[in-house]
Amino acid sequence: MKIEIDEKRSENFMEDWPGQYDIFSHLEFACGVPSVMFLITTLKENGKPNACLHAWSTFSGDSGGFFAIMPGLMQSTHTYRNILRDKEFCVNFLNPEYYERCIKTIEQNDDDLDELSAGGFTVEPAKTVRPPRIAQAFLSYECTLEAASDLSGKGLNAMIIGRVRHAAVDQNHGISEICGKDGFAFNIHSPKDPATGKGSQSAVAQLRAVKLT
């Protein structure tokens, strides 16, 4: 049996915290689609490194370029303002063991703080943009702003598209590394029971290869 869920939120999907369904659609929690996690690095107005733990994105391109397509970046964040101002940023992929250090960058985000140092990360100069890469990242994309728009028209979340100008990839980055503890971390964002709307637990996950093709 399949449960049908409308665009309009039903009453059984109660908020776990105030404003939950302003920032996120109830369909995100009802459907539980994993998304790859990464740290976006930018520079604050005072030049200090800024970090933003993010997911909800994809990466794709063609002969005209390769792009970081990032919906769900809140317009109230330092990162959004930094990207609009400087028109450049880095995307840094870290394995799941760095999750707690990523959280420290969220907890210590005052204007005067170096958020990468707060998380215990090492700054690495980028090749094509001013914001730094993270040395511990096994993959980093250096991006310039291609487009920015209001995701839903409500002034809450933005759609940022970055053109990837350069990539730095760890030399040991094959199938075994990608599909293992040293590979990508995924955000499992509080999936709820689609029938009852209950559930609030999130998870950090990793890939496991089940078939080589």
HEC per residue, the chain = CCCCCCCCCCCCCCCCCCCHHHHCCHHHHHHCCCEECEEEEEECCCCCEEEEEECCCEEEEECCEEEEEEEEEECCCHHHHHHHHHCEEEEEECCHHHHHHHHHHHHCCCCCCCHHHHCCCCEECCCCCCCCEECCCCEEEEEEEEEEEECCCCCCEEEEEEEEEEEEECCCCCHHHHCCCCCCEEEECCCCCCCCCCCCCCEEEECCCCCCC
If pLDDT is split at 50, 70 and 90, which confidence band does 110 have? confident
pTM for this entry: 0.94
**Tens-place pLDDT, residues 68-102:** 999 999 999 999 999 999 999 999 999 999 999 99
- Mean of the pLDDT values across residues 134-147? 98
- Mean of the pLDDT values across residues 166-180? 94
Q: In the predicted model, is pLDDT for residue 67 greater than 80?
A: yes
Q: In the predicted model, is pLDDT for residue 35 greater than 90?
A: yes
